Structure formats: C-alpha cells, structure tokens
Structure 1
Amino acid sequence: MENKKMNIYEKLLKVQMELKAPKGQYNNFGKYKYRSCEDILESVKPILQKNKLSMQMSDELVQVGDRYYIKATATLLDIEDNSTMSNTAYAREDFDKKGMDGSQITGTASSYARKYALNGLFLIDDTKDADTNEYRNEVEDTEHLMLINQFNELAEETNLNRDALYKKLGVSSNAEIGNDKLKELIETMKKKLGGK
C-alpha cells in the first residue's frame, strides 16, 4: 500500500484540529484570561514538528496616513516539499503610551499583530461568550481604549495641557479616567474645535 504524502493544506488542517492553545495569561485590570503570542507558539511547535512543518514570523513597519502599523506575517513551511502558506495581521502603534518608551510601544504592537496572524492561520477564536463577565469586561476595555484614542487625538488638536487636567482630576494618565468622564471631556474638546 502506497503511503501518500499530505500537502500543506492537509497538514495545516491537522494542526488546526489538534491545536489547543490555552489562555495562560490573566489581566488583573479587566479580570479576564487571555492567550498571548507566546502561549500559541508554545502549543503549536510540537504539532508542527510532528507534521513536518516549520514556521517563520516577520514584522514590517507600515505607514498609513499619519499612523504607523506593524504588519506581522506568519509563514508556514512544509519541509517535505518547500511549499508555503502565510497569513498577515496588523496592529497600530499607540501615539501616547505613558510609561513606555518607543521600543516598548513597537514591541507591544508587534506582539498583538503576531498573535492575530497566528489566530488567522490556525483558526483560533478569541471571541468570548456574550453572557460572561469576561466578555463584558473585554467589551468595556475595548470601549475604554477607543475613547482613550479619541481623547488623545482631540487633545493633540486642541493643544490640551494633559498634565494639568490629570492633576485636576487626581489621576496620573488618561487610562485612569472612567468612560463617562472621557466621553464628557471628548464632547468638551469637540465643542472647542467647533463641533468637529
């Protein structure tokens, strides 16, 4: 009986079916578990080896308008026939990440982009059940991040003295300001800009 070699698509399907990537990290602020890029890599490496596959990850800095994104590519290589398959994902570098230097900001964006490139390649679902506290916390965190980004953009446009505002509010950064207060500040800045 002839033993037929699997092609890269068949091998990828086997990896996708076998891969169990646990959520090995915990976010104390949001009170939820999540998986990191490293968690995925640790889980997938033995399965890749068993299926005669190798993987390479690469990053590229891409500018879109005035924003910088990290473009991460996860490339799967079949070591038996040299065929490849890739998946790409993007993550944006944050303008103002208090307490982080430029290399840390880039590193964080790279980790997110790589994680999402791996999620796409291996069909890892990062969604939460809508009725769990974990899901609600993640939605609230996402809203908070979107409000912070909008606040930062408007603060730049209005030349807002953030340090004075933080002192007045008794906080050290915009991350400590609640969503309702952020919305109020955003509306005030929009009015200052003429209803933009």
Structure 2
Amino acid sequence: MNVYEKLQHVQSGLKAPKNQYNKFGNYYYRNCEDIQEAAKPLLQEVKAALVVGDELVMIGDRYYIRATARFVDCESGETVENTAYAREEQDKKGMDASQVTGSTSSYARKYALNGLFCIDDVKDADNQDNTSGKGQTAGRSGKTGTKTSGKQETGKPGGAGPAAGLPENRTETEKVTPAMIKSVQSLVEKYSTKGLKMEKILKMYSIRGIAEMDVSQYKDCMGKLELYKEKELGNE
C-alpha cells in the first residue's frame, strides 16, 4: 500500500467515541489523547507512525497555536500532514498561563488529528453557545491544510465555528482591522520577489481593496501566505 492507501485504512477503521463529559457545557466529547490511542493499533497494522506537534505563531495582532498532525509511512518515508490553529483566551477563569497554553495546544492538536483522520465533531465545543458562558474553550481558527511529503498543499482551509478564533468581539463577516491589513501588506511586500502580488489576492476574494476583506477571508489568506514562509524555510 502507498501512503494514501494506508491513511485510508486508518481513517476507515478508526473508532474514537466521545467518552469524555463536560459538566459545565453538558456535552460529550473526545480529546486528543482519545484519538491517538484509537489510532495506535491501526498504525501498527499498516506500519505507519503518527507525529503530532505545535508551535506559536502570530496572526494579525494575536498569537495562535499552530498544530500539525503528520502521518508517516515507515516503509517509504512518505508523509501526509494536516494543520490546525487555535487562539489562546486572554483570560481563562481558574487557569494560570501555562494551563491556558496547554489546553489551547491540546485543542489545536485535536483538530489537526480530526482533519487528518476525517473525524467530524458535529457537537463539540466549537458548536456550543459561549455567549452566556457555556461550553467555553480555546477558540479554533478553522484553518487546516493537508500536505504530502512537505511539498504540495492538497487541502484548503476549512470553515470555522461561529466566530471561533477571531479577535475579540469580531465575527467572520466583519471587515479586517488596520492591524490585519498591515500584516497582509507586509507579507505581500516580503514575498513580492517570489511572484506574490496584491492584485492576485484582491482577485482571489473578488474585492477592490484589502480594506474590503472580511475576517473569514483574512484567515484564509493568512493560511495561504504561510505557505510562502514554509517554502522559504525549506530552501534554507
């Protein structure tokens, strides 16, 4: 089997029921560890390994945790990976700073695994009503991307939960802030020598100026611009 066939075998056989219960939000869920434990015997069957990690990145004026779940074929060395982003809460009641970062890391890793193994959390923290303090957790940015052998992006950023992972008090359809505009402009300028032009971005989102971009488009755009950074690092 090639790496895709092995991944398909794991995706088809993986069973990770929602055995965790959130008393505060009154819902069942699965965590990162549940998915990893369920995957282990299937990975052994197809002679593959799962590597999960994360890093801190700045998007706009906020820091996010970018988690990567990598499926590695132990026989050929080929890989397929998926990334997901989660934003730390500025203030999480009952948690110190290290606990907030840890919970955000676990959250991002879980969604990286969800994308890799085709797991759909139809009723999870992303779908809870947080306006009255129910089901609170770290916000998900909803950007995921699948890569093969670290060379070609084959997935596109997915949809986000309701206003998840956004700057405070902003929704997906609101326009970008000056800080967001500046972050896009700086990256376009930085990679202009590699063929990146603002005109391409405007055409991609059917807008006349960067100020017309909404937050959802901004997140999608930043996910694509990250590819230039990854290619640059890969050439060093």
TM-score by structure 1 length? Answer: 0.65
**1:38 equivalenced with 2:33 (yes/no):** yes
Q: Is the 8 A contact 2:19 2:28 kept in 1?
A: yes
Q: Is the 8 A contact 2:54 2:105 kept in 1?
A: yes
Quick check: which has more Rg, 1 or 2? 1
Aligned match for 2:61, one of 58, 66, 79: 66
Which deviations, in whole Å up to 9, do the C-alpha atoms of 1:72-110 show, x marking residues without a partner? 000111001111111000000111112211111110110
Which deviations, in whole Å up to 9, do the C-alpha atoms of 1:16-60 show, x marking residues without a partner? 110011112001012111000011111011111111000111111
Structure 1 counterpart of 2:169, which letter? Q
Q: Partners of 1:103 and 1:66 in 2: how far apart?
A: 20
Q: Is the 8 A contact 1:59 1:73 kept in 2?
A: yes
Structure 1 counterpart of 2:59, which letter? V
Q: Partners of 1:59 and 1:142 in 2: how far apart?
A: 28
Q: Partners of 1:45 and 1:125 in 2: how far apart?
A: 19
Q: Is the 8 A contact 2:18 2:28 kept in 1?
A: yes
Gaps of 5+ in 1: 1-5, 129-133, 152-196
**1:139 equivalenced with 2:128 (yes/no):** yes
Q: Partners of 1:9 and 1:104 in 2: how far apart?
A: 36
> The residue matched to 1:48 in structure 2 has which SS?
helix
**1:47 equivalenced with 2:36 (yes/no):** no
Aligned match for 1:127, one of 122, 130, 133: 122
Aligned match for 1:57, one of 52, 58, 66: 52
Identity of aligned residues (%): 59
**1:150 equivalenced with 2:169 (yes/no):** yes
Deviation at 1:139, TM superposition (A): 3.3
How many equivalent pairs are there? 139
CA RMSD across the alignment: 2.4
Q: Is the 8 A contact 1:69 1:91 kept in 2?
A: yes
Quickly say closer, same or farther: Cα 1:142–1:25, change in 2 above 3 A. Answer: farther
Q: Partners of 1:26 and 1:17 in 2: how far apart?
A: 25
Q: Partners of 1:71 and 1:113 in 2: how far apart?
A: 7
Between Structure 1 and Structure 2, the one with more helix by share is: 1
User: Aligned residue for 2:9?
Assistant: 14
Deviation at 1:143, TM superposition (A): 7.0
